[in-house]
Structures are given as C-alpha cells and as structure tokens.
C-alpha cells in the first residue's frame, strides 16, 4: 500500500512575491486552471482583503477540483476573533481551505508581534476554531519554524501543536528565511513527527541555498506528507521549492514512486513541460533552457559519442524518458537528429511525408534560419505548421493583402479631451475581387486585426469564430540589433487554441505576420476551399 503525499501550490501567493511578477485576475484564473489540470491538491490563490485582485478572486465562483485556499493572518493579538476585520475578510472568502500564517519563533513573537507567547498560542487556537466553525479545512503555516525550533524547540512545537489539537488538517513547517540545510530539516521534521502525525505535517521551503527541492524531499523522508511549492520555483528572493522538479522526482524516481501516490496522473505528467513553458509565456519571460526535466536543454546532447549512443538506445545517457514529462530529446548539430525532430513534428500535425523526401532538409534549413532570426516555433505551433505546409506545398493561396496602412493620431476631441485614435486600412485581393476594409481600434495592432478580418469575402464565414486571446511582445537583442517578436494566441468556436509568431524590426510588421498566420491556419483548419 502506497501512502498519499499531498501537493500544495503557492504560485499565486508566495510566487506573486517574485521580483517583476504582477498577476492580473485573468492570470490568476488561468494559472489556477493549469494547476488544477495538473492535479495539484491545494491551490493557494492569494490573500483576500490584502489587495483588490485577491479580493475579487475570492469573491468569484470557481469550478476547480483542487482545494482553493485563501491565505491570511491569525487574529491580531489583543482582539477577539469576532472583532478582527482581517480575519472576517478571510472567513468570508469563497475558499475551500484557509491557510493561516502564525509566528512560531519566540523571538519574533516578542519583537515583531510585541505580545506574549501565551497570547500568540491563543490567537492560533481561536483562528483555527473560527475557520473550522465556518466549515473550512484549515492549515497553519508556522513562520520561521526551523529557526524558531533551533532557538526554542518547546515553543515552536507548542505553536504547531496548538493548531493540530484545535483540529487544523495541516501544520506546515516553513523555512521562511531559507537558510536551513536538508539534513537539518530532516532531523527537525523527524522530531516534529514524533509529536504530530506526519500525515498532518507539511514542508514549505525557500531556495536561498538552492536546496529547496532537497529540503522538501528530506522532510518527506522524515515523515511530512504535504509539500508546498510553486511552478518554476517562483517566489521571493531566490524562490520557493520548485514543484516542476519535485513532481517528476516523486513520480519517476523509484524510492518515492514505490512509496507514495500523488494527485498528478501519468497523463498529467506528460503536460508538465508544456505547463512550465506556458507559465513563462504568460509572465512574458524566457524559459530556463537548463531547467531540470522540462528545460529545452534538459535532454539535449551535442554531437559526438553521447549522441550516437543515444540514437542507438536513449537510456544510455538519459536518467528518465524525456517524453514522460512532455519534453523532447535533442541532439544538437547532428543533421540526422534534426531531421528526425522535424519528422516527428510533421507526424504530430498529420502531414505524411516520406523520410527521404528532399523537402524535409529544406524545411529544416528554413526552421534553423528563422529560429536564429527570432522565430519561436516550439511555442508557435500554428506558425510551424503553416511553414511546414508551405514548404511542402499544400497551403492554398486564399487571398493577398496588397497593401495596408495604419495611422495613429493624437488630437483633441469635441469635448476638448486629448485622445489617441487609431485607424487601419487594408486592401485585399480575393480571387478576382479587390476589397478595401477600414477599422478603428484601441491600438495599431487591434485596428489592423479588425480591418483584416472585417471582410474576407467568401472566406468570411470560416473565420467568424476566430478570436485573439493573447498578444505578447518581446524585444530580442540579436547580433544585428534589436528585433521584435510577437506571439499571438487565438481561439475558435470549437475551443481550440493556437499560437502564431512574427518577427521584424517593426512591431506592426511582426504583428501582421502573426495575424496572417493565425487567419490562414484557421482557414486550413476549417477546410476552406482554395
């Protein structure tokens, strides 16, 4: 019989502390959906009452399988639980579980909280009781637990015990400053599990010595049965324990896989690389190529003896199968391996081509050349498909955009207000017909998009359900100066999503390329006749 190990994600709360990360409500909902899809047991959404985004998030109904968790403080010292507005906001939040944070280091109780040790314990008990009375599952984050334990083990334990005895489902030991080492964590968690059953103990590690994953696994070895962490190790300072590294370790490494079940299925594990990259895309930042398991280079080998051995039997130089986490093997430089990557991609999108077809080599050259120029075909799956179809000669020439013009004007309107007005005009040739469309938009790309899709004649009905759902811009500094990469995410009436890319020194031109790819992709997908 395997034991159940629980995963608690705090990307949306602790991860929101990352320098340069600022989640919108839409970001939070999308990321919560990704975590839910992955099979994470608890998703901590944020701190209701602390900022408008989190307050709105917890006022919204959700349909997630995960236990959506609200974070907040225990009642303030010297107040009753019923007379604390912070606690009231937390209890009112639409959440399945509440995670309280409380001091567990006597020094912090005295200096930061300016109260007595007994009052801090009473605050923990009262808060747990109040949340349980509201029907919530309760967790207590014991802040500075490891430092507190080293200074005063009796008091640190008393804080944890107070919550457990009051009925908290989980007592979470936090290494708030991130300085604890794995062997220390293992010893201290072992001591805690003598007092509180391990299946009620969690670990919350920070990565300040680059060992947050190791600390989490050491805590599990010592008896803890909940791991808290974030996607891609997001978090304040050096980040939190990286769930994207922890999950495959638990699933694929024998010692853990034989002993524990987690909520992440084998099928969900296949999506891990995709989810990790999707998060970076959403944050508009490049993915770490060298990230364990999911990085683009995690299974990349340069040509030579390793590469030729890998081609004979991948297990020779790979610790796990790249496909198990949705990643890909890459053999750099080798022409042969590049070709097999392309062939695998073509098979995935349903294009049947003979492996010795000379056009494959041509496509490979074009992909390499364009990726060097800034195109990101791994993300822009639809643009890759268009490029492949064009190279293989199977995309009809539906229409030509002979000319477009985008005009941005700033002026005073009739009310004397300063306004910016954007207008786009496109001249499109569809068969024998010439069509001119104009549209106003809230910006140049929006206006261009609206004008382009306003009238495509006989093709209009095929693109009616097309919607742009995201638009992201990155400035790339190449060898020959800055270029702009635009990624556009589209959706249609069937709920399908796809991403297209454009690259140019000019942002409008880059956007135009990505828009065109998206429209043509939709026409091909819908089976529009040539």
Give residues in contact with Zn ion (CB under 5 A).
14
The residue count of the chain comes to: 530
Query: Least distance to Zn ion from the beta carbon of 174, Å?
Result: 6
**Beta strands 418-430; 433-441: pairing state:** antiparallel
Cβ atoms of residues 283 and 238 within 8 Å: no
Q: Give 142 or 395: the residue with its C-beta nearer to Zn ion.
A: 142
Using DSSP's 3-state secondary structure scheme, residue 352 falls into coil
Q: Give 174 or 514: the residue with its C-beta nearer to Zn ion.
A: 174
Query: Least distance to Zn ion from the beta carbon of 407, Å?
Result: 50
Contacts of 75 (CB under 8 A, 6+ apart): 81, 84, 86, 87, 123, 126, 127, 130
Q: Give 175 or 345: the residue with its C-beta nearer to Zn ion.
A: 175
Query: Least distance to Zn ion from the beta carbon of 260, Å?
Result: 23
| Crossing angle of helices 335-348 and 358-373, rounded to 10° | 100
Query: Least distance to Zn ion from the beta carbon of 240, Å?
Result: 6
Residue 24's CB: how many other CB atoms inside 10 A?
10
**Burial of 525 by CB count in 10 Å (0-12 exposed, 13-18 middle, 19+ buried)?**
middle
Q: Give 142 or 450: the residue with its C-beta nearer to Zn ion.
A: 142
Distances (CA, A) of 150 to 106, 272, 496: 11, 37, 53
Q: Give 99 or 426: the residue with its C-beta nearer to Zn ion.
A: 99
Cβ atoms of residues 222 and 186 within 8 Å: yes
Phi-psi map region of 70: left, alpha, beta (phi>0 left; psi -120 to 50 alpha): beta
**Beta strands 67-73; 42-46: pairing state:** parallel
Query: Least distance to Zn ion from the beta carbon of 365, Å?
Result: 48
Q: Give 21 or 366: the residue with its C-beta nearer to Zn ion.
A: 21
Q: Give 11 or 383: the residue with its C-beta nearer to Zn ion.
A: 11
Query: Least distance to Zn ion from the beta carbon of 51, Å?
Result: 17
Query: Least distance to Zn ion from the beta carbon of 129, Å?
Result: 25
Distance, CA of 201 to CA of 203 (rounded, Å): 7
Q: Give 207 or 379: the residue with its C-beta nearer to Zn ion.
A: 207
Q: Give 37 or 208: the residue with its C-beta nearer to Zn ion.
A: 208
Query: Least distance to Zn ion from the beta carbon of 122, Å?
Result: 24
Distances (CA, A) of 416 to 57, 342, 411, 419, 420: 38, 58, 9, 9, 13
The encoded tokens of residue 308 equal 């030729």
Query: Least distance to Zn ion from the beta carbon of 282, Å?
Result: 21
Q: Which helix (H) or strand (E) holds 199?
A: none
Query: Least distance to Zn ion from the beta carbon of 47, Å?
Result: 12
Residue 49's CB: how many other CB atoms inside 10 A?
20
Query: Least distance to Zn ion from the beta carbon of 12, Å?
Result: 13
Using Cβ positions, the residue closest to Zn ion within the complex turns out to be 14
Alpha helices by DSSP H, listed for 93-242, are 106-111, 117-133, 145-151, 153-165, 182-195, 212-221
Query: Least distance to Zn ion from the beta carbon of 141, Å?
Result: 8
Residue 414's CB: how many other CB atoms inside 10 A?
6
Contacts of 92 (CB under 8 A, 6+ apart): 48
**Beta strands 260-261; 418-430: pairing state:** unpaired
Radius of gyration of the chain measured on its C-alpha atoms = 27
Q: Give 192 or 510: the residue with its C-beta nearer to Zn ion.
A: 192
Q: Give 9 or 345: the residue with its C-beta nearer to Zn ion.
A: 9
Distance, CA of 334 to CA of 5 (rounded, Å): 42
Q: Give 40 or 488: the residue with its C-beta nearer to Zn ion.
A: 40
Q: Which helix (H) or strand (E) holds 291?
A: none
């Amino acid at each position: 019989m395997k034991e159940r190990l629980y995963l608690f994600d705090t990307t949306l709360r602790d991860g929101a502390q990352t320098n340069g990360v600022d989640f919108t409500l839409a970001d939070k909902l999308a990321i919560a959906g990704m975590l839910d899809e992955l099979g994470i047991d608890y998703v901590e959404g944020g701190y209701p009452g602390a900022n408008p985004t989190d307050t709105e998030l917890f006022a919204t109904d959700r349909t997630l399988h995960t236990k959506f968790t609200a974070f907040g403080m225990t009642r303030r010292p010297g107040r009753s639980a019923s007379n604390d507005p912070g606690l009231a906001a937390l209890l009112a939040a639409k959440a399945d579980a509440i995670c309280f944070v409380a001091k567990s280091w006597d020094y912090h109780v005295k200096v930061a909280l300016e109260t007595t040790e007994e009052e801090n314990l009473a605050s923990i008990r009262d808060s747990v009781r109040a949340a349980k009375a509201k029907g919530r599952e309760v967790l207590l984050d014991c802040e500075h637990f490891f430092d507190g334990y080293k200074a005063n083990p009796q008091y640190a334990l008393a804080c944890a015990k107070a919550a457990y005895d009051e009925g908290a489902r989980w007592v979470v030991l936090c290494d708030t400053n991130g300085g604890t080492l794995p062997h220390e964590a293992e010893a201290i968690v072992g001591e805690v599990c003598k007092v509180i059953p391990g299946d009620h103990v969690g670990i919350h590690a920070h990565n300040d010595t680059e060992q947050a994953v190791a600390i989490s696994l050491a805590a599990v070895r010592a008896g803890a049965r909940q791991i808290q962490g974030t996607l891609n190790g997001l978090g304040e300072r050096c980040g939190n324990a990286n769930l994207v590294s922890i999950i495959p370790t638990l699933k694929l490494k024998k010692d853990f896989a034989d002993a524990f079940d987690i909520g992440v299925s084998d099928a969900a594990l296949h999506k891990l690389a995709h989810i990790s990259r999707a998060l970076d895309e959403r944050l508009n930042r490049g993915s770490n190529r060298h990230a364990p398991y999911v990085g683009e280079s995690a299974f990349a080998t340069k040509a030579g003896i390793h590469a030729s051995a890998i081609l004979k039997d991948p297990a020779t130089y790979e610790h796990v199968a790249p496909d198990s986490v949705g990643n890909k093997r890459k053999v750099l430089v080798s022409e042969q391996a590049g070709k097999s990557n392309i062939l695998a991609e073509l098979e995935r999108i349903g294009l049947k081509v003979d492996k010795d077809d000379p056009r494959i080599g041509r496509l490979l050259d074009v992909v390499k050349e364009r990726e060097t120029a800034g195109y990101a075909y791994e993300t822009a799956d639809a643009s890759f498909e268009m490029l492949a179809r064009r190279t293989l000669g199977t995309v009809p020439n539906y229409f030509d955009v002979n000319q477009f013009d985008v005009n941005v004007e700033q002026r005073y309107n009739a009310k004397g207000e300063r306004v910016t007005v954007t207008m786009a005009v496109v001249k499109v040739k569809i068969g024998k017909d010439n069509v001119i469309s104009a549209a106003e938009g809230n910006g140049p790309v929006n206006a261009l998009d609206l004008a382009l899709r306003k009238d495509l004649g006989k093709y209009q009905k095929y693109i009616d359900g097309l919607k742009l759902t995201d638009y992201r811009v990155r400035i790339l500094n190449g060898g020959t100066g800055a270029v702009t990469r635009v990624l556009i995410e589209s959706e249609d009436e069937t709920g399908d999503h796809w991403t297209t890319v454009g690259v140019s020194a000019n942002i409008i031109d880059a956007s135009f390329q990505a828009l065109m790819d998206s429209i043509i992709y939709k026409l091909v997908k819908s089976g529009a006749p040539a």
